[in-house]
């Protein structure tokens, strides 16, 4: 019985020692998802956007970033080229379809600005993607 208790303590100690680096990695790993950032008004999480039946993805980043990489099927629409790019977006946007606008980094406001302008067309719900392009890359 003494050996069993001693073995149980050693096993618990090993488990505890193994959990410490796992917990540290969970919070500090570069690909760990953002946990404590609440979704702001007008935003949608990537999980909720992917669960939507039909989504029109809109990339509000500069043309060079869009050309380098973007969400498959996403259309470019940024403030600098608004008048040139808007007709293609309106031509693809079906009434009632959810539009999700993203830009790079969580502090980027371009997605919120583009989303606000698109809401004026009243074709369907428009959201900015919480976490932006990085949420997609780190999914």
127 and 65 housed in the same domain: yes
- What are the structure tokens assigned to 13, written together? 């100690």
Q: Tell me: the pLDDT tens digits for 8-33?
A: 677 655 755 565 656 556 555 555 55
Say which CATH number the domain at 52 has: 3.40.250.10
Q: Tell me: the pLDDT tens digits for 28-70?
A: 555 555 544 678 899 999 999 999 999 999 999 999 999 999 9
Domain count, the chain: 2
In a domain, 38, yes or no: no
Q: The whole model's pTM is what?
A: 0.73
Q: How far apart are CA 129 and CA 134, in angstroms?
A: 10
Q: How far apart are CA 69 and CA 115, in angstroms?
A: 20
In a domain, 66, yes or no: yes
In a domain, 35, yes or no: no
Q: Which residues contact 31 (CB under 8 A, 6 or more apart)?
A: 138
In a domain, 25, yes or no: yes
């Amino acid at each position: 019985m003494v050996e069993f208790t001693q073995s149980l303590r050693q096993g618990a100690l090993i488990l505890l020692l193994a959990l410490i680096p796992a917990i540290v990695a969970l919070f500090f790993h570069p690909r760990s998802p953002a946990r404590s950032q609440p979704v702001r008004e007008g935003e949608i999480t990537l999980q909720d956007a992917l669960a939507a039946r039909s989504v029109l993805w809109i990339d509000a980043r500069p043309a060079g970033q869009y050309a380098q990489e973007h969400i498959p099927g996403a259309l470019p629409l940024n403030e600098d080229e608004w008048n040139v790019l808007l007709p293609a977006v309106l031509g693809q946007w079906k009434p009632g379809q959810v539009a999700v606008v993203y830009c790079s980094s969580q502090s980027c406001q371009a997605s919120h600005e583009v989303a606000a302008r698109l809401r004026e067309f009243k074709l369907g719900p428009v959201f900015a993607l919480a976490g932006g392009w990085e949420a997609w890359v780190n999914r």
